[in-house]
């Protein structure tokens, strides 16, 4: 889900040796950049648009990719074929994952989640999105993350962990993916760039609270 530590995770993977290609390294809402490859984001947006959906209006089920978008993804990845390991990050991918899995069935995944209220608060701070809408989006994305885990287990990190614990767990994930984690120093993470604080007085709907607890149990 957006605003869940995905940029921190991806920047840390890049530090460890993951090649991201042409990626964003700064924007007003993320001073170290969201580390997204705009060409991949554009493909995901067009796939969503073809079924009258968007990142903030998720489709209800599995999405069939138009043939021209499958071709565009093949061409883009061919341009990065000489780079290994190559990877990308875009939260929209969870909404259109079937097409990427069809094209590249051997991809490896790393998931990350964050407390629903922190995510909704960050979206509200960034763009004025109502908290209820942010919580519903959190549920839509993270339900798909849980479904993907049940289909084929993947490492999932919790961005609510304190920095040193988060980085310790991430170092283990890097090692499991084949990176030389002994050389990784974790310098990309910057606690000062976290946005939105939790309000303990706010209450979560039961289905969102239950999903959050499920993800907590599955997290590394």
* pLDDT given at position 99: 96
Two structure tokens written together for 169: 């767990």
Helix (H) or strand (E) holding 54: none
For residues 169 and 88, the answer to whether their CB atoms sit within 8 Å is: no
Is the bond preceding 85 in cis, omega lying within 30 degrees of 0? yes
Strand-pairing partners, residue 19, are: 86
* pLDDT given at position 185: 76
Mean pLDDT of the chain: 91
Distance, in Å, from the CA atom of 12 to the CA atom of 184, rounded to the nearest integer, reads 9
pLDDT tens figures, 68-106 = 999 999 999 999 999 989 999 999 999 999 999 999 999
Two structure tokens written together for 4: 């869940």
DSSP string, 89-108: --GGGGGSHHHHHHH-TT--
pLDDT tens figures, 47-70 = 999 999 999 999 999 999 999 999
* pLDDT given at position 192: 63
Domain boundary assignment for the chain: 6-218
Segment 113-123 shows an average pLDDT of 97
Distance, in Å, from the CA atom of 216 to the CA atom of 220, rounded to the nearest integer, reads 9
User: What class, spelled out in words, does domain 6-218 have in CATH?
Assistant: alpha beta
CB atoms within 10 A of CB 162: 9
Which of 146, 115, 142 has its CA nearest to residue 131? Answer: 115
Q: What's the start-to-end Cα distance of the chain, in Å?
A: 18
| Res. 169: pLDDT tops 80 | yes
Eight-state DSSP code of residue 30: B
Segment 155-167 shows an average pLDDT of 95
Segment 7-12 shows an average pLDDT of 92
For residues 155 and 111, the answer to whether their CB atoms sit within 8 Å is: yes
| Res. 114: pLDDT tops 70 | yes
Q: Which pTM was predicted?
A: 0.91
């Amino acid at each position: 889900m957006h605003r869940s530590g995905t940029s921190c995770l991806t920047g840390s993977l890049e530090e460890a040796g993951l090649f991201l290609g042409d990626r964003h390294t700064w924007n007003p809402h993320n001073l170290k950049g969201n580390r997204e490859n705009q060409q991949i984001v554009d493909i995901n947006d067009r796939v969503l648009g073809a079924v009258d959906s968007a990142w903030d209006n998720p489709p209800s089920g599995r999405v069939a990719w138009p043939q021209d978008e499958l071709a565009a993804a093949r061409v883009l990845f061919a341009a990065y074929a000489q780079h290994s390991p190559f990877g990308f990050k875009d939260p929209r991918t969870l909404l259109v994952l079937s097409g990427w899995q069809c094209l590249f069935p051997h991809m490896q995944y790393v998931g990350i989640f964050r407390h629903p209220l922190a995510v909704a608060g960050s979206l509200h701070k960034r763009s004025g999105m109502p908290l209820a809408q942010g919580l519903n989006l959190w549920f839509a994305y993270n339900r798909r993350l849980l479904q993907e885990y049940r289909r084929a287990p993947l490492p999932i990190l919790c961005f609510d962990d304190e920095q040193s614990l988060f980085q310790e767990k991430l170092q283990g994930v890097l090692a499991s993916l084949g990176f030389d984690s002994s050389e990784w120093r974790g310098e990309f993470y910057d606690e000062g760039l976290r946005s939105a604080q939790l309000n303990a007085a706010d209450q979560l709907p039961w289905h969102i609270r239950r999903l959050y607890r499920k993800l907590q149990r599955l997290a590394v």
